[in-house]
Structure 1
Amino acid sequence: MAALAEIAGDTLTLRGEILREDGRARTGGQRVGPVGDAVMLGRDLAEALRARSPIPLG
Structure 2
Amino acid sequence: MALTPSTIKEVLLDLINEQVQITTAFGMVTGTVNQVKDDYTVIIEGSGDQVLVRLYKIEFISEL
| Alignment TM class, shorter chain as reference | 0.3 to 0.5
Q: Which has the higher helix share?
A: 1
Q: Which has the higher strand share?
A: 2
Task: Give TM-score scaled by structure 2 length.
Answer: 0.32
